[in-house]
């Protein structure tokens, strides 16, 4: 009797989440219909964004979001894994506890604070030091790096995002690594593995699904981040693949232009970008789940 | 944002005014739909629109409440949002930095337009070693289009014969969010630079050919501060916060002027005689690049919008409410003007205040005139 009430209540609450997601999708769809009616799916790969002429397209913003989030993940993943491994395997207690505290504190810093720091500290450093250094190193030959310019670039936004997702990935990975059974580690060491080999072949292999899901969660945070991104990315309008240039992201363009968007098609185009972002996070998360499902047969 | 000099009072006052307004709004919003309650007057008026107008309107509304006991609640959701709320007839008045476009005017028939302040746009720059920089609209247009890319360009050098300009890249900074400041600035460029008018045009947000975008005046200010060789446009009130110099802009008389409140007022006075009546469309009103000595070339009005027949706002509108709307607007465009300078907005010329009163005389409730006092 009590059990069935309980089941009903929890069931209803779970449905509420589904209904909310459905309603969000419906509202985004209805709000963006004028844009889809005007350009159809080509809205996704159109590159023009001109509020004066009423021409809109989403590609520069999709590209900017993927480029910054992708680069953030590339930077953050090795760093986070390093932190996680240090914390679980090597650090003595006296170092470990304060370090864990600091990493978790970093996760609680509001994004606007990261954005401020980005404007006042990181952007000048990127302009004065980071970009000239990369341009002078062999990395500078990569086609993703052009001429260094002002400090508000895709690279600056990527760095901020990386710093923001490191605590998430690091603390989740640490928890994953802690679940690796002691016997497995000790077994590997007993078989004559070095510490590095035991780490690589046993601990990381065992936890790879968990680490992957930590990375997906970090990526999700990076995709949706608005404030810190718009404060550092430079908010230019053209399509660019150059990390030394100002870019834009899906979240930034919505945050920037929705308030003052006066024409119906402008608003609809911004909502359409919101819908694409919604779909993109959904797809990425699904892919993440799928891969976790596959990999986890061999581990956690 | 983070680095206002400690001793500079203006931005802090702006910030405090905005902050107080936001809290007030939050309190009222929590207490129901905001149309009941309030002090002695009982009624609370609701307005929405431009963020730029927030410091001025919240200063006004606290002074107005102190003087009359009536409350005015202003929600700074942006000009676009304010115009939408006005079109949907969900607010008592709306504020915007740009006049209604012909399309917007057609969607909100019966709109009266009342200019309530003059905003002035400063061109700030960060070029170490250059104490004074003189620019013209043509050169600004070429810089923002990317035709002029270096400070040492002969066109800039020609305007600044005495100074030594560095051979460095010009970093162009613009607003990333839609804004009335952008509207004025791009409208000015469109007037002086035919290529700009053809390729880009003017609006609250445009398709910028180049440059980095900063969010809000603070964002632009921050980007200019932190990028050597940069140039950008900000509302005059944010110039103090920048502690960077503003370029002198050439007006029609060939004078090079620094942005000032008086320069904006002088510019506005050049059009007061030719303004449309309150019930007519205002989209052609502009006094960028005005004639006349001392008139600063980049400034504009901010506007209130209100309906001529207030009974069209639905059942929540009563004669009492209609009267208090008219009294509030009358106070704002006349007596309230003495507070404008405090928040770095220029006051309206006398003649324009008279015109606004004539516009307010048009307001009706169920066909009966309201302003009978």
Size of interface A-B (CB pairs under 8 A): 113
- Positive/negative CA dihedral, B127, B130, B136, B142: negative
Q: Give the residue among A272, A271, A223, A220 at the shortest CA–CA distance from A249.
A: A223
Contacts of A231 in chain B (CB under 8 A): 215, 219
Contacts of A263 in chain B (CB under 8 A): 103
Q: Least CB-CB distance to A259: which of B77, B210, B212?
A: B77
Confidence band of A270 (pLDDT split at 50, 70, 90) = very high
* B359 has a pLDDT exceeding 60: yes
For residue B195, the domain's CATH number is 3.40.190.10
Cα separation, A254 vs A243, whole angstroms: 21
Note the pLDDT of residue A297.
Answer: 54
Confidence band of B341 (pLDDT split at 50, 70, 90) = confident
Q: Calculate how close chain A gets to B168, using CA atoms only, in Å.
A: 11
What b/e readout covers B195-225, taking b as 16+ CB neighbours within 10 angstroms? ebbeebbbbbbbbbbbbbbbbbbbbbbbbbb
Residues B81, B137 within the same domain:
no
Residues B107, B143 within the same domain:
no
Q: Mean pLDDT, to the nearest integer, of A64-88? A: 94
Largest CA distance in chain A: 73
Contacts of A259 in chain B (CB under 8 A): 51, 77-78, 80-81, 177-178
Note the pLDDT of residue A296.
Answer: 58
Q: Mean pLDDT, to the nearest integer, of B260-280? A: 92
CA distance between the termini of chain A: 37
Note the pLDDT of residue B15.
Answer: 46
Residues B139, B250 within the same domain:
yes
Element (H, E) at A25: helix A2-39
Q: Is residue B5 part of a domain?
A: no
Q: Which of A31, A232, A262, A265 to mutate to test the interface with B (most CBs of B within 10 A)?
A: A262
- Positive/negative CA dihedral, A56, A60, A61, A62: positive
The secondary structure of residue B238, as a DSSP letter, is: G
Note the pLDDT of residue B324.
Answer: 93
Collect all residues with Cβ–Cβ distance below 8 Å to B302 and sequence separation of at least 6: B50, B52, B53, B95, B96, B97, B115, B116, B117, B118, B119, B180, B345
* B179 has a pLDDT exceeding 90: no
CB–CB of B182/B232 below 8 Å? no
Q: Least CB-CB distance to A231: which of B206, B207, B219?
A: B219
* B10 has a pLDDT exceeding 50: no
Cα separation, A267 vs B178, whole angstroms: 12
Q: Mean pLDDT, to the nearest integer, of B231-252? A: 88
Cα separation, A16 vs A247, whole angstroms: 37
Q: To 5 degrees, how large is the angle CA B343–CA B349–CA B354?
A: 120
* B87 has a pLDDT exceeding 80: yes
For the record, the structure tokens of A54 come out as 């009423």
**A148 touches B: beta carbon within 8 Å:** no
Cα separation, A288 vs A280, whole angstroms: 12
Note the pLDDT of residue A130.
Answer: 93
A198-227: per-residue pLDDT in tens?
Answer: 888 888 888 888 898 889 989 999 999 999
Q: Which of A73-77, A145-149, A217-221, B161-165 has the lowest mean pLDDT?
A: A145-149
Cβ distance B202 to A263 less than 8 Å, yes or no, reads: no
**A251 touches B: beta carbon within 8 Å:** no
What is the bridge-based pairing of β-strands B93-96 and B44-49?
parallel
Note the pLDDT of residue B14.
Answer: 46
Q: Is residue B112 part of a domain?
A: yes
Average pLDDT for chain A: 89
Residues B98, B170 within the same domain:
no
Structural domains of chain A, with CATH: 2-296 (1.10.3720.10)
A163-199: per-residue pLDDT in tens?
Answer: 999 999 999 899 888 888 888 888 888 998 888 888 8
**A269 touches B: beta carbon within 8 Å:** no
Note the pLDDT of residue B91.
Answer: 94
Confidence band of A1 (pLDDT split at 50, 70, 90) = low
Q: Is residue B4 part of a domain?
A: no
Q: Least CB-CB distance to B80: which of A124, A255, A262?
A: A262
Residues B255, B273 within the same domain:
no
Collect all residues with Cβ–Cβ distance below 8 Å to A94 and sequence separation of at least 6: none
Chain A 68-127, residues with CB within 8 Å of chain B CB atoms: 116, 119-120, 123-124, 127
Residues B225, B129 within the same domain:
yes
What b/e readout covers A192-230, taking b as 16+ CB neighbours within 10 angstroms? ebeeeebbeebbbebbbbbbbbbbbbbbbbbbbbbbbbb
Cα separation, A157 vs A159, whole angstroms: 5
Chain A 182-241, residues with CB within 8 Å of chain B CB atoms: 230-231, 234-237
- pTM of the full structure: 0.81
Q: Is residue B133 part of a domain?
A: yes
Note the pLDDT of residue A61.
Answer: 96
Q: Which of B28-37, B101-110, B200-209, B329-338 has the lowest mean pLDDT?
A: B28-37
Average pLDDT for chain B: 86
* % of chain A surpassing 70 pLDDT: 97
Q: Is residue B322 part of a domain?
A: yes
Note the pLDDT of residue B22.
Answer: 47
Note the pLDDT of residue B6.
Answer: 41
Contacts of B1 in chain A (CB under 8 A): 116, 119
Note the pLDDT of residue B73.
Answer: 92
Confidence band of B43 (pLDDT split at 50, 70, 90) = confident
Confidence band of B16 (pLDDT split at 50, 70, 90) = very low
Q: Is residue B78 part of a domain?
A: yes
Number of domains comprising chain B: 2
What is the bridge-based pairing of β-strands B212-214 and B299-307?
unpaired
A223-236: per-residue pLDDT in tens?
Answer: 999 999 999 999 99
B204-222: per-residue pLDDT in tens?
Answer: 889 999 999 988 888 898 8
Neighbour count for residue A247 (Cβ, 10 Å)? 32
ipTM confidence score: 0.77
Q: Is residue B295 part of a domain?
A: no
Cα separation, A277 vs A255, whole angstroms: 13
Residues B83, B162 within the same domain:
no
- Residue B251's domain comprises 121-260
Cα separation, B70 vs B43, whole angstroms: 6
Read out DSSP for A122-157? IHHHIIIIIHHHHHHSGGGGSTT------S-SHHHH
What is the bridge-based pairing of β-strands B299-307 and B111-126?
antiparallel
Contacts of B222 in chain A (CB under 8 A): 119-120
Residues B180, B92 within the same domain:
no
Cβ distance A51 to B222 less than 8 Å, yes or no, reads: no
Q: Which of A154, A259, A260, A270 to mutate to test the interface with B (most CBs of B within 10 A)?
A: A260
* % of chain B surpassing 90 pLDDT: 65
CB–CB of A103/A170 below 8 Å? yes
* B36 has a pLDDT exceeding 60: no
Cβ distance B1 to A151 less than 8 Å, yes or no, reads: no
Q: Least CB-CB distance to A150: which of B204, B208, B227?
A: B227
* B308 has a pLDDT exceeding 90: yes
Residues B235, B148 within the same domain:
yes
Residues B172, B248 within the same domain:
yes
Residues B125, B238 within the same domain:
yes
Half-sphere exposure of B238 (CA within 13 A, CB side): 24
Collect all residues with Cβ–Cβ distance below 8 Å to B44 and sequence separation of at least 6: B28, B34, B35, B36, B37, B38, B70, B71, B72, B73
Note the pLDDT of residue B13.
Answer: 46
Q: Is residue B291 part of a domain?
A: no
Residues B132, B192 within the same domain:
yes
Cβ distance B78 to A260 less than 8 Å, yes or no, reads: yes
Q: Mean pLDDT, to the nearest integer, of B269-290? A: 92
The secondary structure of residue B207, as a DSSP letter, is: -
- At residue A249, the 3 state secondary structure works out as coil
């Amino acid at each position: 009797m009590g059990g069935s009430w309980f089941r009903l209540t929890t069931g209803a609450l779970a449905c509420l989440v589904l209904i909310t997601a459905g309603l969000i999708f419906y509202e985004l769809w209805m709000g963006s219909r004028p844009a889809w009616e005007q350009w159809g799916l080509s809205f996704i790969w159109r590159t023009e964004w001109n509020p004066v002429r009423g021409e809109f397209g989403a590609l520069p913003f999709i590209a900017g979001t993927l480029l910054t989030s992708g680069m953030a993940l590339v930077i953050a993943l090795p760093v986070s894994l390093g932190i996680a491994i240090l914390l679980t395997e090597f650090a003595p207690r006296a170092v470990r506890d304060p370090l864990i505290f600091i990493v978790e504190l970093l996760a609680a810093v509001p994004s606007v604070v990261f954005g401020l720091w980005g404007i006042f500290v990181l952007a000048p450093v990127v302009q004065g030091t980071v970009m000239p250094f990369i341009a002078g190193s062999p990395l500078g030959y990569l086609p993703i790096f052009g001429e260094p310019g002002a400090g508000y670039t895709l690279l600056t936004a990527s760095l901020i995002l990386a710093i923001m997702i490191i605590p998430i990935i690091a603390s989740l990975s640490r928890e994953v690594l802690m679940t690796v059974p002691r016997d497995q580690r000790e077994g590997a060491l007993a078989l004559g593995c070095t510490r590095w080999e035991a780490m690589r072949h046993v601990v990381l292999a065992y936890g790879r699904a968990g680490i992957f899901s930590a990375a997906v969660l970090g990526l999700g945070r990076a995709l949706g981040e608005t404030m810190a991104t718009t404060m550092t990315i430079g908010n230019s309008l053209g399509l660019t693949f150059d990390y030394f240039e100002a870019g834009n992201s899906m979240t930034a363009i919505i945050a920037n232009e929705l308030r003052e968007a006066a024409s119906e098609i402008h608003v609809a185009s911004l909502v359409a970008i919101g819908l694409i972002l919604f779909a993109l996070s959904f797809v990425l998360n699904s892919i993440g789940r799928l891969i976790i499902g596959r990999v986890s047969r061999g581990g956690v | 944002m983070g680095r206002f000099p400690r001793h500079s009072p203006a931005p802090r006052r702006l910030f405090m005014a905005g902050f107080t307004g936001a809290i007030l709004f939050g309190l009222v919003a929590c207490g129901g739909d905001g149309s009941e309650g309030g002090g002695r007057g009982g009624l609370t008026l609701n307005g929405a629109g431009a963020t730029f107008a927030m410091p001025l309107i919240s200063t006004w509304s606290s002074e107005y409440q102190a003087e009359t006991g009536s409350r005015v609640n202003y929600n700074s959701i942006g000009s676009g949002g304010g115009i939408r709320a006005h079109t949907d007839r969900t607010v008592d008045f709306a504020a915007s930095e740009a006049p209604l476009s012909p399309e917007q005017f057609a969607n909100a028939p019966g709109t009266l337009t009342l200019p309530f302040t003059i905003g002035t746009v400063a061109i700030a720059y960060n070029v170490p070693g250059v104490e004074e920089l003189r620019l013209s609209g043509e050169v600004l247009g070429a810089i923002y289009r990317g035709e002029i890319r270096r400070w040492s360009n002969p066109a800039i050098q020609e305007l600044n014969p005495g100074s030594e300009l560095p051979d460095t890249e010009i970093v162009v900074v613009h607003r990333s969010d839609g804004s009335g400041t952008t509207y004025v600035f791009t409208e000015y460029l469109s007037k002086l630079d035919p290529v700009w008018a053809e390729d880009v045009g003017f609006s609250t947000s445009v398709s910028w050919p180049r440059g980095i975008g900063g969010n809000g005046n603070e964002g632009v200010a921050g980007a200019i501060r932190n990028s050597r060789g940069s140039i950008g446009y900000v509302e005059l009130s944010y110039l103090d916060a920048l502690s960077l110099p503003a370029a002198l802009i050439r007006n029609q008389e060939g004078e090079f002027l620094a942005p000032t409140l008086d320069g904006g007022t002088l510019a506005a006075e050049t059009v007061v005689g030719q303004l449309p009546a309150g019930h007519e469309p205002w989209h052609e009103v502009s006094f960028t690049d005005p004639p006349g000595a001392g008139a600063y070339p980049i400034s504009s009005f901010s506007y209130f919008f209100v309906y001529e027949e207030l009974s069209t706002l639905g059942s929540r509108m009563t004669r009492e409410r209609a009267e208090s709307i008219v009294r509030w607007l009358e106070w704002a465009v006349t007596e309230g003007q003495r507070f404008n300078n405090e928040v770095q907005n220029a006051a309206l010329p006398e003649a324009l205040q008279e015109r606004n009163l004539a516009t307010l005389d048009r307001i009706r409730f169920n066909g009966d005139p309201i302003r009978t006092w």
